[in-house]
Amino acid sequence: MQAVAVDTGFSEKDVEKIIVATFQNIIKSLQNDYDVILRNIGRFKVYTTKTKKARNLRTGREIIVPPRKKIKFIPAVKFRKDIGK
């Protein structure tokens, strides 16, 4: 946060408030099944897994794993290129 404060000229407390508020809004959007796109960084996408069969390793009994929501991050092309440098 200190680097962002230096780059922007904001105080560290202000930067922290902005970052926390940003991530809280990203979480709210994902909870409501909206994709979140951060330009030149990437996209957060919510998807639902399918119901699947699994096996309890202790008992050997088959169990059904219910569907659940997961988050996938898809990096932007520029982000991938910048990281690869």
Per-residue pLDDT tens over the stretch 24-67: 999 999 999 999 999 999 999 999 999 999 999 999 999 999 99
d(CA 70, CA 47): 6
Sequence-ordered strand ranges (E) for 3-83? 36-38, 42-48, 52-55, 62-65, 69-75
Instruction: Indicate yes or no: pTM above 0.75.
Output: no
Statement: residue 85 has pLDDT above 80: no
Q: Beta partners for 64?
A: 53
Q: Which residue has the tokens 């996408």?
A: 45
- CA–CA distances in Å: residue 33 to residues 2, 4, 69: 32, 30, 9
